[in-house]
Structure formats: C-alpha cells, structure tokens
Structure 1
Amino acid sequence: MSELKRTPLFPEYEKYGAKTIDFGGWDLPVQFSSIKQEHEATRTKAGLFDVSHMGEIRIQGDDSLAFLQKMVTNDVSKLKPNRAQYTFMCYEDGGTVDDFLIYMLKEKDYLLVVNAANTDKDYEWLVQHQEHESVTIENVSDNYALLALQGPKAEEILQALTETDLSQIKFFGFQTDVQIGSVKDTALVSRTGYTGEDGFEIYIDQAAGARLWNELLDSGKDEGLVPVGLGARDTLRFEANLPLYGQELSKDISPIEAGLKFAVKVDKAAEFIGKDILKKQVEEGPTRKLVAIEMIDKGIPRTGYDVLVGEDKIGFVTSGTQSPTLKKNIGLALVDSKYTEVGTELFVQVRKRQLKSVIIKKPFLSK
C-alpha cells in the first residue's frame, strides 16, 4: 500500500487538533473542532481551508488558446488577463473528464486548477490531444500551496494583512504579486471559492504555505476565523449546489445532465471534444437531470441510494446530508427527466425502507 501524500501544511495540522483521513491518497484533515462548528463559522464569520492537494497545470505558447478551445467546453476566448473561468473537459460521449478553473495569467499563458484525484488523468488527457508544437503543458502542482479563506469576514481579515485593495478584485478576478503580512513570497489572490460564501483562494510558493496559514489564523482569530476540514468543505459546497466530481459529475454524467449548461458553449465556433453530444443534450434536453430533494419522511438521502417512483427505479442520489444551515435532510439526485418538476414526490430507498421526499427549487441556499 502506497504512502499517503501530504501537503506542505501537514505539520501544522496537529497544533490545531486536526483529525486526518485518507482522501483520494492524501492525508488531509476531515475536521479540526467539529464539522458543524466549522460549517457555521464559515457561514457567519470565516474559515480557512488547506486545499494544497488541488492540481495545477500550466499551458503556454502561441497556440495555447486554440488548444484550450478544443479541449474545454467554455469559451476561453472571452478570458482576459487576471480573470478566471469555470469549465469542463469532456469525453466524446459527453461524460466529464473533470471540472476546473482556468486562470489567464497573461496572453498565451494559462493556469488550470484541477481536482486533486484527477490531476494525473487530466495532464495525460491534455498531452494526448496536444497537436501544436508551440504549446507546452506542465504539471506544476508541486510548486504551490493553496489556501481558501472563505466567509463574510474573509475580505476584512485578509485586507488587514495586505496593502492590495481587495475590493478591486471582483468575483472570478484575481491579482498576482500580492504581499501578505510578513510572508516573503508574493501570492496570486483570486475571488473564488467552493463554499457559496464570499472569499479568496490564495496561491503561493509551497515553502511559504505554513507561514501564511499561521499568519492568517493569528490575524483573524478575533474575527472568528477557524481552520476548516474536508467535512465542512463538503457540507458548505453541497448547500450551495456546487458539484463534486465523482458524484454530481463523472465520466458517466455530463455537465448538461448536472444542470451546468452555463459553462458549456455549444455555439462557440471552435470544435471541442464532446460538442456534438452536448449540443444535442442542450437542444433536445437530456434524458436525466439533477434535482434537489427534501426528505418528508425521517432519514438522510446518502450518495448512491436509489430513487424510485412506485416500484420503478428512476435515478440515484449523488449527494445528501442533514444541512447544518437549514436543519433539514436534503439531497441532490440524478433522475429520469420525466420526474423533475418542483413538487414531485419521489421515494428514496434507505436500507429496507422507502422514504418519501419532494423535489424543491435549487439552490438550497441562495445568497
């Protein structure tokens, strides 16, 4: 059995009481205090996440734009320097290779920030389809520590440590060469996140990650900033209806089925992998759709549970939990398109019982 990978911040976990788990081959904190406390702190004050396990792939060269236009579903030509974009890579059948952000660092220079478990697969997929001699593809994941500072007080906490005017960084915008506190290295700071809250993702040299982590936690303590683990990261993203690869998206689930058409530009001039199938799904409607459900009967709809109408299985739960914010048992389910109207009653197979649920509007939590 191979040894678990660790981020540059691993030595800091113990002093904050982290409980770590094996997460896709990484030794990462599931919680520091409790999932519910960390969730509430992020919703009401601020939370700090170590997400250094995420992958980074740099794409540069004269034909880098043309290459990315072929590889991803969104329209990369709309990007400008210091702006980021959410997108997908898909297979020919419309299934999802991965979902990620593209940062346009400057002309002909892009940074892809991909899901940790997919980093090697994504890199190989890109290299496999690289036909331009002028394009270089480099896995630079080991260069970065990545911290996410999220919550209503995130800007106030970070602003106290930098002279960069953070109010000028708009949603999906970023600034490079940001000096933070006494940390020697400068950072790329983007107004992005995975919680449904305002906040920032901070990319810095991996050697500076631990210092940045400690300075942020020390500086933000009086504002209620706490370290947050994977458990609350999942409940936060779930409440905001942000997809998790392997659950709401996969090689068998397309972005259109997942309700993420906004990042699939089937009308862009460039041909991209999976375009024909995705365009058909957009025009005709997919045969399956992702819906939000709330349990009527007592029980939690867990990932993989069957969803039924009468005796017929019509889909399955992709994610589900008791919402810490809403105090309700809720879930996301991929179901037959015939049964997707808000108000439709569905049954979830929970062990030997069929429990009643109802389709509700998405997102669960709107800001």
Structure 2
Amino acid sequence: MAEPRKTSLYNAHLKYGGNIVDYAGWALPVQYEGLTQEHEAVRTRAGIFDVSHMGEVEVTGPQAFDFIQYLVTNDVSVLNDNQIAYSFMCYPDGGVVDDLLVYKFSRDHYFLVINASNVEKDVEWINQHAKDFDVTVKNLSDEISEIAIQGPEAEKILQKLTDTDLSQIGFFYLKRDVNVAGANCLISRTGYTGEDGFEIYFDHEHAESLWEKLMEAGKEEGIRPAGLGSRDTLRFEATLPLYGNEISQDITPLEAGLGMFVKLNKDNFIGKDALVKQKAEGLKRKVVGIEMIDKGVPRHGYEVYADDKKIGFVTTGYFSPTLKRNIGFAMLDMDYTALETPIEIKVRNRTLKAKVVSKTFYQKHYKK
C-alpha cells in the first residue's frame, strides 16, 4: 500500500502536535489539542487549516465560458470577474462527479477547486469533455499549497500580514497577486465552516513561513491550528455537504437539498435531462436533519428505520460541539421527511429513538 503523500506543511503539523492520519491518500492532522477546542476556536476566535490536499484545475481559452457552463450545474453567466460560484459536476444520470468552486478570473480563464479524494477522477472527466471545446486544461494540484484561516477574527489577523484591504474582498469573491508576508498569493473569501474567513493559495516554498507568520499574527486573538475533525464538525453544523456523504455518484444534488445550485433553466449541461426529469416526477427520497432522542451518536452509514422497515441511512452525524446535541443528516424515503417524524437509528445492535428536524442547525456568520 502506498505511503500517504505529505503536504508542504507536514513538518508544521508535527511541530504543533498534529495527530496525523491518512485522508484521501494524504498525511494530514485529524486534530492537534482536540477536536472540541479547535472547533470552538474557529467559532469564537480563529483557526487555520492546511487544505493543500485540495485539487486545482485551470481552464483557459476562447471557449472557456461555454465549456464551464456545459460542465457544471450552476449558471456561471451571472459571475463577475473575480467572483466565485459553488456548483456540481454531474454524470448524465444526475449523480455527482464532484462538488467544486468555480473561480472566474475572466470569460476565458477559470480556476476550479475540487476535492482531494476526486482529483484524478475529476481531471479525467474534465479532459474527456474538454475535447469538444477550444480550451486548455491544466491540473495545477501538485503546484499549489493552500491555507484556510477561519473565524470571526480571521480578517483582523490576516490584515496584519498584507497591505491589501481585505474588507474589500466580498463573500464568494477573490483577489489575485496579493502580497501576504512577502509571498504572492491568491486570496478568496468562501469558507467551509459557517464563519467568515479566507483561503490563501501560494507556491509550496512559502508554506511553512506563512503558517508561522499567521500563528504569530494571531497570537493575541487566540488563533489555533485546526485539523480534519473540526473541519467536518464545523461544515456539518453549517449545513455544508461533504462529497461521499450528502452527495455522491448515487445521490443527486436535488436529493441532497441543494437544488439552488442547479439551474435547470440554463442551456444544456451534463446531467440536465436526468435532473429535469427527477424534479418533474418528484423526489423519492431526500437528505434531512435528524436529532437523537435516546442517548447515542448517529454515525455515517447507520441504518434508519420507521414502522419496522428500513427507510434510509445516516450521511453525517456528530455530537455538536456548539449545540451540545447529538444531531445528523440522513437520506430518508420521502414519506418520512416531515419535521418531527419519529424515526429509529440502528446503533450497533441497539435501536435508538430519534426525530426529523430542520437542517439549519447553526446560523452562519459570513461577511455580506
């Protein structure tokens, strides 16, 4: 079995006591001092994450706009230059190849940020469909490191390291060629935690220096390094999906409750016909929020029952560090998706009582 790859921040993770695990073929910290402490740091102060494992693909050329519009479910025609859209790439049957962020530099230049676990598959999919368009596709994933700084103090901390006025970067916008502590960076403001924050992209050589300078700049504000564990609990509380959980090859964006990112009224895109049909016929199942009544944590993959029959499965579940409740998402048959519907979760050999609740667990605090 291949050794997991190391990001350019691997030594920093060891220095700060990171508990290293193999995630999508990468050696990454699941936590440092503890998941709950890191989660709370991001909610109340600031945390920094190594997200260098994410994939980046550049698409350029005279037909770049037409290609991206065909490739993804969202409508990129409404994007200004330096604006970002969240979207999906779908299979012809409506299942999800991946969810991604589309950065528009200009009409003939786009930058796609894709999931680490899907880089190889995604790049192959993008190249396969690019053949019919006058575009050039470059996989930049091995050339770029990325740090995310998240939390209510994120702007204040990062501002100490740059002369660029960060308050002028709006939510889901980007700015290129930003000097951060001597490094030329691309900065965006999207976040995957429900809090304000930034993503900083740069060449590998600056990784450890930027990490240390951010830690030093945020010392007064109580910044903490944060691992994969808190990244997942934070995104989950903020109702943000994870590929392989709430969306997958077998789960469409409509079933995941993410139809707002699927523009069925735009010109043809891959998967459009299947998604139009699914919407017209009505969903047979969908992802809902769940809350435990009995003591127990609903984990990914646990089976869900009602009326003595299996009605679905848990996609994500945790004890919420912010809400102090055992909550989750579950894919359930439509007949059981109304709020307050009683359900049962099979936890090992026990069946525990739960109920359907709103998926809006946490009020997001993005910069508007």
TM-score after normalising by structure 1? 0.97
Counterpart check, 1:280 vs 2:277: yes
Gaps of 5+ in 1: none
Whole-angstrom distance in 1 between the partners of 2:78 and 2:207:
32
Partner of 2:28: 28
Paired residue type of 2:95: G
105 and 295 in structure 1: CA distance in 2 versus 1, 3 angstrom threshold: same
Whole-angstrom distance in 1 between the partners of 2:165 and 2:209:
22
Q: Contact 2:329 / 2:359 at 8 angstroms: preserved in 1? A: no
Paired residue type of 1:172: F
Partner of 2:223: 225
Instruction: Compute the displacement of 1:106 (Å).
Output: 2.1
Counterpart check, 1:331 vs 2:325: no
Q: Contact 1:86 / 1:101 at 8 angstroms: preserved in 2? A: yes
Q: Provide, for residues 268-327 of structure 1, a one-character-per-residue CA deviation record: whole Å limited to 9, x for no partner.
A: 1x2111101111223333111100001001111010011111211010000001000011
Q: Provide, for residues 47-79 of structure 1, a one-character-per-residue CA deviation record: whole Å limited to 9, x for no partner.
A: 000000000011000011111111110011112
Paired residue type of 2:73: T
Partner of 2:302: 305
| 1:310-321 paired onto structure 2 within 5 Å | 310-321=307-318
Whole-angstrom distance in 1 between the partners of 2:235 and 2:43:
11
Partner of 2:209: 211
Would you identify which runs of 4 or more consecutive aligned residues in structure 1 move more than 6 Å? none
Partner of 1:167: 167
| 1:283-294 paired onto structure 2 within 5 Å | 283-294=280-291
Partner of 1:193: 191
Residue in structure 2 matching 1:242, options 240, 243, 250? 240
Instruction: Compute the displacement of 1:208 (Å).
Output: 1.1
Instruction: Compute the displacement of 1:92 (Å).
Output: 1.0
Q: Contact 1:63 / 1:132 at 8 angstroms: preserved in 2? A: no
2:219 aligned counterpart, secondary structure: helix
Paired residue type of 2:199: E
2:235 aligned counterpart, secondary structure: helix
Q: Contact 2:64 / 2:107 at 8 angstroms: preserved in 1? A: no
Task: Using the aligned pairs only, state the percent identity.
Answer: 54
| 1:105-144 paired onto structure 2 within 5 Å | 105-132=105-132, 134-144=134-144
Paired residue type of 1:315: G
Q: Contact 2:7 / 2:52 at 8 angstroms: preserved in 1? A: yes
Q: Provide, for residues 117-175 of structure 1, a one-character-per-residue CA deviation record: whole Å limited to 9, x for no partner.
A: 10110000011112345211110011211110000110111112111111111110111
Gaps of 5+ in 2: none
Instruction: Compute the displacement of 1:85 (Å).
Output: 0.4
TM-score after normalising by structure 2? 0.97
Residue in structure 2 matching 1:264, options 258, 262, 269? 262
Whole-angstrom distance in 2 between the partners of 1:286 and 1:272:
20
Whole-angstrom distance in 2 between the partners of 1:228 and 1:155:
17
Partner of 1:75: 75
Instruction: Compute the displacement of 1:360 (Å).
Output: 1.0
Instruction: Compute the displacement of 1:15 (Å).
Output: 1.2
Q: CA RMSD in A?
A: 1.0
Q: How many residue pairs align between the two structures? A: 364
